[in-house]
Structure 1
Amino acid sequence: MSWLQGLMMILRVLVVVTCLSAAIASPISGRWRPLAFTALHTSLSPYAVPLRCKASPRAIAWNGGSIHGGLLHLTSLSSAADVGNSFVDALPALLQPSAVFTASNAFVLPFWALMVIAPGAQVTEKLMRSVTPFIVLGLLYLWLAVISSTFPEAVEGLGQGAGQLPVLTKAFSLEPVVATGWVHFLAEDLFVGRWVYLDGRKNDVPIRHSCLLSLLFGPLGVVSHLVTRDIVRRLREAKDGATGEPAVEDVLLKGSR
């Protein structure tokens, strides 16, 4: 079993635990939550095995399964997309991909605002030297990846990597996959912005414009910072090599601290 198959197996186990918890323990309006046990069979394939568990006969009938000898036999869904949809529909509102997407956006904005508006503030430097934001984003990303793994199209598309653009495009047509990719972008962009900020503070280089570009256009922020740093370095070398020259770099640095 390759490392990718092993990772997907771990994610699927997490899906199974969540599905069983929601289906067995959460009645709604006197009825069992209609989270299809059938989804588990499809999402676990080709590693699926009969699951031994206790469940309401009504819940089993609702979801098209049957119990024989204490074993829950699961039937396939008519549409593979129903696997992920059934899982997502059973989640609490705060754990839905759309809610995680919104929360992730709100989470990163204060860090960007501080780097652009108050780069010299002590609180800004303290926050940007911390790794906590990336741990939080990493956990949000992991949760969205678990949700995405319940969609066969996502597993197929992401499993094949960037080798086949049409397959990857199909995978990103799913809302949970888009949310997963977006949190990926948020984390990577913030990491880049953090590097620009810390490097700029270390070398006493203007950083507001580069941090803003990192927020909006990612890699362009890095290019902007490298160019700015080189210009400032050359101006400082020119100043050191001549007497009576105006401190041009002081004009660039004014208001950036």
Structure 2
Amino acid sequence: MIDPSLAFSFAGPLAIAGWLGLIAASFIRTARPYAWPAAQILIPAILACLYALLIWQGRSAFGDGGFGSLAEVRALFANDHALAAGWLHYLAFDLFVGAWIARDGAERAVPALLILPCLPLAFLFGPAGLLLYLALRWIFSVARKES
């Protein structure tokens, strides 16, 4: 059985390692073959396994929780298994998106200094980091067409 507090404590540093790898790979090309698969596949897969175990273990205690209303979501996350699983969900998906941003930006020759702010923003505020990157991607796409 996995303790939700232990899963929470383990997941944070693991995700941080992935984010640091992405930042390093933005500037050190030789790090890319290691950092990109770790951040986009390996670490999210580990977090997904922990997520699935937490959901499985806590399934009987979810009670009145659900996704039909804000009150149901609040009730769902009153369970420590669901709360820790929810946090791992964010960590896994945000890191996956961050790795996509780093790879896509490198493939499209978006300067690393412009991608760099997108990564911590994606880590801290998920969709906002993605939105910033998509705007940069669009700007570079338009600029290339005009030149």
Using the size of structure 2 for normalisation, the TM-score is 0.84
Asked whether the 8 Å contact 2:64–2:75 carries over to 1, the reply is: no
C-alpha displacement of 1:117: 4.2
Higher relative contact order (CA 8 A, sep 6+): 2
2:70 and 2:118 map into 1 onto residues whose CA distance is 31
2:60 and 2:139 map into 1 onto residues whose CA distance is 50
1:144-195 deviation digits (Å, cap 9, x = unpaired):
11222131xx15413xxx2132122112122221101000111110111111
C-alpha displacement of 1:125: 4.1
Asked whether the 8 Å contact 1:193–1:215 carries over to 2, the reply is: yes
1:201 and 1:174 map into 2 onto residues whose CA distance is 41
User: Is 2:12 the partner of 1:102?
Assistant: no
Identity, % of aligned pairs?
A: 28
Equivalenced residues, count: 141
Alignment of 1:1-257 (within 5 A): 95-121=2-28, 122-130=30-38, 131-151=41-61, 154-158=62-66, 162-206=67-111, 207-238=115-146, 240=147
Q: Mind listing any 5+ residue stretches in structure 2 that lack a counterpart?
A: none
C-alpha displacement of 1:221: 1.1
Higher Rg of the two aligned structures:
1
Aligned-partner residue type, residue 108 of structure 1: A
1:10-61 deviation digits (Å, cap 9, x = unpaired):
xxxxxxxxxxxxxxxxxxxxxxxxxxxxxxxxxxxxxxxxxxxxxxxxxxxx
Using the size of structure 1 for normalisation, the TM-score is 0.51
1:126 and 1:184 map into 2 onto residues whose CA distance is 23
Q: Greater CA deviation, 187-196 or 111-120?
A: 111-120
Aligned Cα root-mean-square deviation (Å): 1.9
Q: Mind listing any 5+ residue stretches in structure 1 that lack a counterpart?
A: 1-90, 241-257
1:237 and 1:219 map into 2 onto residues whose CA distance is 27
Aligned-partner residue type, residue 138 of structure 1: A
Higher helix share: 2
SS at match of 1:103: helix
2:104 and 2:134 map into 1 onto residues whose CA distance is 10
